[in-house]
Structure 1
Amino acid sequence: MELISIVEALLFATQEPLGVPQMCAAVKDTAKDIVDAATENAQLPGEAVQIPEWVTPLAATTEEQVRAILDELIARYAAEKHAFTLVERANGWRIAARGEYAEWCRALYPGKKVHRLSQPALETLAIVAYRQPITKAGIEAVRGVSVDAMVQQLIDRGLMKIEGRADLPGRPLLYGTTEAFLDHFGVRSLDDMPNASELRRVKLPTAEEGAPAASEQPQEQQLSLAPVTQPEELAVAES
């Protein structure tokens, strides 16, 4: 039995994303159980234990091996032109249909409509994603408009959450993004967002300074919104 087949079976059997450590532990623990069972079933003391040759290598499986297997599976699915592939999410890997088959997969769930985000919602999310944790006043200083309703809408949709309170007068709430946000835009972590390190260093207006008019906003602030506003919907229908 090969490691690549075992990893593929684990991904096929689960309903939730699987992390590399989880897969590695499942392989090693099962191999150990097979060895222990063979030892217990030995008929006489000192009798040679019959352990299948393929079990020993599996007991020493490493996370690096599992990651290499995942890359091999992705390449194999692409070469064989399968309708599915492997995708990595914030909390692990899973099998998913390719994006070009999303419309057909969506037909299985006629009651679920695609909810696209409006431009104001995308702009608000971009600010929060790159500068979190951030207060509502901080968001409004960049956008130049009130964001009370927009923030609540994004929280209700599970894309934003309250992170705590700022150490400022009045102890305003701090906001951040959720794992659902990462899933929606198809990124594993906030560091995988386009130009993340550069855009986090861009100086933004503060609540005290007041937000400039849209036509007067510096070019770098406009660019900071572009990467997140482009992919309105993750084009992968997950199994």
Structure 2
Amino acid sequence: MKKYSIDQLEINEISNKNEYFSIIESLLFVSGEPLNLKNIADIIQCDLKYTNKLLKEMAAIYEDNSRGIKLISIDDNYQLVTKPHNSEYIEKLLKTNKRQSLSQASLEALAIIAYKQPVTRIDIDEIRGVKSDRAIVSLHEKNLIKECGRLEAPGRPILYGTTEEFLRYFNLSNLEELPSLDNFVDSFKDITEEDEI
């Protein structure tokens, strides 16, 4: 297959687009793991700009409510995933529930890790005011957090950060999409002021 420039492809776009969609869908399905934009472009022998355009169009097609899967992007890595509203049926098929809801303690610890990473367990405990050992173990088992080094301090405590699974779990493309902490502070101030009235 010849490598086309974006201008050449626009001439053949209608006849080739469905073929490219089919090839990319097959690649993502067989891979099971995220594929990098450059890797996809190299395989289909198109430039990055056109491949990115194809992937954006595919993602829009998968947003249709009648589809059971969607195309997600995390830091220019693309993956086919099932839609959340079908999870209970998938769980029945798999007879497992890996996406059990998170406990309040796990959510608190995860929020601290997401916003302050890399962070130690001691820092998490200090912010929460209670021990977080079980929450950290649970988050680690669910692959939402990972060890990302050790702090250069006595005892060399483990540093924790979030994983790509964390981004998938919360439907984020990257950490920059996390809501600003300022929004939470403003909301908290509004609630406190209402309580004082």
Structure with more contact order per residue of length (Cα contacts < 8 Å, sep ≥ 6): 1
Instruction: Report the Cα distance in structure 2 between the residues aligned to 1:172 and 1:142, rounded to whole angstroms.
Output: 16
CA 91–107 in structure 1, closer or farther in 2 if over 3 Å, else same: farther
Which 5+ residue runs of structure 2 have no aligned equivalent?
1-14, 189-197
TM-score, normalised with respect to structure 1: 0.60
Aligned to 2:137: 152
Instruction: Report the Cα distance in structure 2 between the residues aligned to 1:154 and 1:183, rounded to whole angstroms.
Output: 14
Q: 1:21 is matched with which residue: 33, 38, 58?
A: 38
CA shift for structure 1 position 184: 1.8
Q: Post-superposition, which runs of at least 4 consecutive aligned residues in structure 1 deviate over 6 A?
A: none
1:1-239 to 2 correspondences below 5 Å: 2-13=16-27, 14=30, 15-28=32-45, 61-78=46-63, 81-89=66-74, 92-109=77-94, 111-113=95-97, 114-195=99-180, 199=181, 220=185
CA 149–221 in structure 1, closer or farther in 2 if over 3 Å, else same: farther
CA shift for structure 1 position 107: 3.2
Matched residues, number: 169
Q: Percent identity?
A: 29
Q: What amino acid is aligned across from residue 134 of structure 1 in structure 2? A: V
Give CA deviations for 1:66-85 in whole Å, capped at 9, x if unaligned.
11112222333446943433
Which 5+ residue runs of structure 1 have no aligned equivalent?
29-60, 203-218, 224-239
Give CA deviations for 1:159-216 in whole Å, capped at 9, x if unaligned.
2222222122332221112222222222222222222xxx3xx8xxxxxxxxxxxxxx
CA shift for structure 1 position 2: 0.7
CA 147–96 in structure 1, closer or farther in 2 if over 3 Å, else same: closer
Instruction: Report the Cα distance in structure 2 between the residues aligned to 1:179 and 1:134, rounded to whole angstroms.
Output: 17
Aligned to 2:3: none
CA contact (8 A) 1:160 1:176 kept: yes
Q: What amino acid is aligned across from residue 96 of structure 2 in structure 1? A: K
Q: If each structure's helix is expressed as a fraction of its own residues, which one has the higher value?
A: 2
CA contact (8 A) 2:37 2:76 kept: no
CA contact (8 A) 2:21 2:58 kept: no
Which stretch of structure 1 is more off in the superposition, 82-91 or 147-156?
82-91
TM-score, normalised with respect to structure 2: 0.72
Larger CA Rg, structure 1 vs 2: 1
